[in-house]
Amino acid sequence: MNRKNLFKNIIVLSILLAFISNKMNSATIDNTTNKDKIKIANDINMLLDSCWFYRTQNPILALDFGNKANSIIERSNYIELKPKTLNFLGVVQRKLGDLSKSHDYFMQALDLANLLIDSAQIGYTYNNLADYYIKKASYSIALENVLIGYQIFKNLNHKIGMAYSLNYLGEIYIHHSDYEKALKYLEEASSLRLELNDLRGYSNTLVNIGIIYFKKHDFNKARELYNKALKLDSDIKYEKGRANIFSLLGDINIANNDFETAIKSINTALLFSNKTKDKGGIIQNSNKLGFVYIKLGKWDKAKKILEEALILANKSEHLDEEMRSYLYLSDYYKETKQFETALSYLNKYIVLKDSIFSDENMGRFADLQTLFATENEKIENKLLRHEIENEKLRNNYLILISIIVFIAIILLVSKYKMQKKSNALLKELNSSKDKFFSILAHDLKNPFQALMGYTDMLNEDFDDFSEEEVKNSIKSLQNISHNVYDLLEGVLEWSRAQTGRMEFNPLLFALSVEVNSIIELYNENANSKGIKLISEIDSQISLFADRNMIKTIIRNLIANAIKFTKSGGSVNILAEKNKSEIKFIVADTGVGMTQEIIDSLFRIDTNHTTKGTNGEVGTGVGLILCYELVKLHKGKIWAESRLGIGSKFIFTIPI
């Protein structure tokens, strides 16, 4: 329960206490009003039962029942059943493929359930939000929600809710390829659903266990479980379940290269999905058919159905299937020799895949489980236990909860104040390094994706390329390879500086000699752009420092200056010596920088890899390395710049 909801509950508790006190002074109860309320509740529950029954086989009809129940609630102000109604409407909208609308209903249900302290509906809402985020491929957020839902149901001993939570946990861990954990949770869900005689839920769990065996390439075991679930679904006329199983049997056929049989299975699945208006199933099976048609060389059919799947996935925000549509369309255009379009779709696939999985990692999963096992048990579980144990004495319960909430807030605030100072720096450092490694991983991934794309096409379609296309591809591969090598070399140097493994060997040397050798190294590059490299360093200036480190700093600054200086410009290298330090300056007549960019330089949590004036690509780690090496010398480094006029990079080394 978050802090906002805790404060909200405190206000509501106060109002309820006043209301209960007033009611205790009343002499009689209006029996006619109570009878009316019972009739209203019965009418609403009958409509909700119908809504739930038809949610998969006829979601349009289910939506009508749900809306009618909601109308009665609005007219009668019988809000006790409002959270349940909103949850049902959200589930139906999810079945219809409108994920955005389903999320709106779930959030309304959660707010109202918290207000009414309706623990069961709070738990169901968190489960529904978990399923929503699974379909949005946001698995860490899904895990966070389902863990809260499971703990609520566990404390209520609500076995139906627990079974749903355990099934979602299994699905999440399947997506993260942690099959051992997935199997553990799914077997627990399976046992509960058999105990409850929930055949539909049991069938779904069997299917998920079958998916684990499919992922582990045990196709026979997977097929056995799918067929067992298919028989159950046929007996109970669960058509959405049958659609899912035929689709999964199609996956086994694809894995065995039996594409004709796969088409029959997937078409059957698509038939059921259309019948039940299951938009997610329609998109998924359309993508699978498109993939099979590519394998069979049925190009027109493949293109048509994949484009239809992409439009539906875009509209309904099924990001995982949208990503799959891009990948299969890239394969289609590659196979039909339309390489430019193939690369375009491949790039869209990579960008979407990065956006989905960039923040996903199992470390966050472990953190969430640790938090769930400690803080949530201390506070949330205690509140829920008292709610169940004292349900018949509600006024005393409300007072007790108020006290517990206030104590919890005081403890949390006290703990926060004590830890704030000691944790602030650590959090900042960890956040910065996490961001840096995220940037680094992204910068490495994209060139390698491009390398694989180019090499795959050269390997498979070399004979179809013209001589000019081959030369251009080889040139691109060369540029990408050099850029990746420069990036890795810079990161290794930075890593050695960070971990203290870089040897510091100071000695006395003439600064002008080393600068002149660096100028000779970069003269060819500068001349190709028509840029003059000018050293104005006095030959008498000597420096006691690590020569290799100083050369690395100067090399990076000169290379950076050349990169952002236009043809006809110049790069001047100067050094000034006073009693306490030597100030080194690299000044260029380049494009300059805004103050915003200057403020973000030398930081590992930002990524500036702007292309140079001739389209040169940088690695993004050069200035970070310079900062670390200057720091090792107990010096300072900074930049001064004016947009359109030029920049100065300055560092000082104490004498």
pLDDT at res. 408: 77
Mean pLDDT of 187-215: 93
Q: How confident is the model at residue 434 (pLDDT cuts 50, 70, 90)?
A: low
Give CA 156 to chain center in angstroms.
31
Q: How confident is the model at residue 16 (pLDDT cuts 50, 70, 90)?
A: very low
The CA distance from 478 to 486, in Å, is 12
Q: How confident is the model at residue 219 (pLDDT cuts 50, 70, 90)?
A: very high
The CA distance from 261 to 417, in Å, is 64
With beta carbons less than 8 A apart as the criterion, state whether 80 and 65 touch.
no
pLDDT at res. 376: 47
* Other CB atoms within 10 Å distance of the CB of residue 300: 8
The answer, yes or no, to whether residue 587 has pLDDT greater than 90, is yes
Q: How confident is the model at residue 395 (pLDDT cuts 50, 70, 90)?
A: low
Question: What class, spelled out in words, does domain 202-277 have in CATH?
Answer: mainly alpha
The CA distance from 588 to 576, in Å, is 17
pTM of model > 0.75: no
Domain ranges of the chain: 202-277, 279-357, 424-499, 506-654
Name the CATH topology of 279-357: 1.25.40
Mean pLDDT of 226-235: 92
The values of phi and psi at residue 116, to 5°, are -90, -5
Element (H, E) at 568: none
Name which of 241-245, 600-604, 632-636 the model is least confident about: 600-604
With beta carbons less than 8 A apart as the criterion, state whether 385 and 155 touch.
yes
Mean pLDDT of 485-505: 65
With beta carbons less than 8 A apart as the criterion, state whether 124 and 132 touch.
no
pLDDT at res. 23: 43
Is 600 or 244 the better-scoring residue by pLDDT? 244
The CA distance from 360 to 136, in Å, is 13
The answer, yes or no, to whether residue 363 has pLDDT greater than 60, is no
Mean pLDDT of 455-477: 74
* Other CB atoms within 10 Å distance of the CB of residue 647: 23
Name residues whose C-beta falls within 8 Å of residue 505's C-beta, 6 or more positions apart in sequence.
546, 547, 548
The answer, yes or no, to whether residue 308 has pLDDT greater than 60, is yes
Q: Please state which of the four CATH numbers 3.30.1300.10, 1.20.120.420, 3.30.200.20, 1.10.287.130 is assigned to the domain occupying 424-499.
A: 1.10.287.130
Tokens 């109002």 found at: 15
Asked if the domains 202-277 and 279-357 are classified in one and the same CATH topology, the answer is yes
The top-scoring range by mean pLDDT among 13-27, 30-44, 77-91 is 77-91
Is 462 or 285 the better-scoring residue by pLDDT? 285
The CA distance from 118 to 125, in Å, is 11
Side chain identity at 285, as an amino acid letter? N
Pairing of strands 581-588, 506-510: unpaired
The answer, yes or no, to whether residue 43 has pLDDT greater than 70, is yes
The answer, yes or no, to whether residue 338 has pLDDT greater than 80, is yes
pLDDT at res. 29: 35
Name the CATH topology of 506-654: Heat Shock Protein 90 (3.30.565)
pLDDT at res. 362: 45
Is 147 or 375 the better-scoring residue by pLDDT? 147
The values of phi and psi at residue 509, to 5°, are -150, 155
Mean of pLDDT over the chain: 81
pLDDT at res. 463: 74
- What's the half-sphere exposure (Cβ side, CA atoms, 13 Å) at 575? 22
The CA distance from 509 to 282, in Å, is 72
Mean pLDDT of 310-336: 88
With beta carbons less than 8 A apart as the criterion, state whether 402 and 7 touch.
no
Mean pLDDT of 283-298: 93
Name which of 273-277, 326-330, 566-570 the model is least confident about: 273-277
pLDDT at res. 157: 93
pLDDT at res. 34: 75
Q: pLDDT tens-digit profile of 379-393?
A: 455 445 545 554 555
Q: How confident is the model at residue 71 (pLDDT cuts 50, 70, 90)?
A: very high
The CA distance from 501 to 493, in Å, is 10
Instruction: Return left, alpha or beta for 137; rule: phi > 0 is left, psi -120 to 50 is alpha, else beta.
Output: left
pLDDT at res. 4: 45
The values of phi and psi at residue 507, to 5°, are -155, 165
pLDDT at res. 100: 86
First to last CA, the chain: 58
pLDDT at res. 216: 92
Tokens 């949390």 found at: 412
Pairing of strands 570-577, 532-535: parallel
Instruction: Return left, alpha or beta for 607; rule: phi > 0 is left, psi -120 to 50 is alpha, else beta.
Output: beta
Measuring CA to CA, how many Å separate 643 from each of 462, 532, 556, 588? 46, 20, 21, 12
pLDDT at res. 36: 80
The CA distance from 500 to 628, in Å, is 11
The CA distance from 353 to 320, in Å, is 8
Mean pLDDT of 456-468: 75
Mean pLDDT of 98-117: 91
Mean pLDDT of 204-227: 94
pLDDT at res. 489: 65
The answer, yes or no, to whether residue 440 has pLDDT greater than 60, is no
Q: pLDDT tens-digit profile of 277-288?
A: 888 889 999 999
Mean pLDDT of 303-308: 94
| Helix (H/G/I), strand (E/B), else coil: 388 | helix
Q: pLDDT tens-digit profile of 509-536?
A: 999 999 998 898 788 888 888 999 999 9
Q: How confident is the model at residue 405 (pLDDT cuts 50, 70, 90)?
A: confident
Is the Cα torsion angle 539, 541, 544, 550 positive or negative in sign? Answer: negative
| Helix (H/G/I), strand (E/B), else coil: 368 | helix
Mean pLDDT of 598-614: 72
Is 495 or 311 the better-scoring residue by pLDDT? 311
pLDDT at res. 6: 44
CA neighbor of 97 nearest in space, from 123, 67, 136: 136
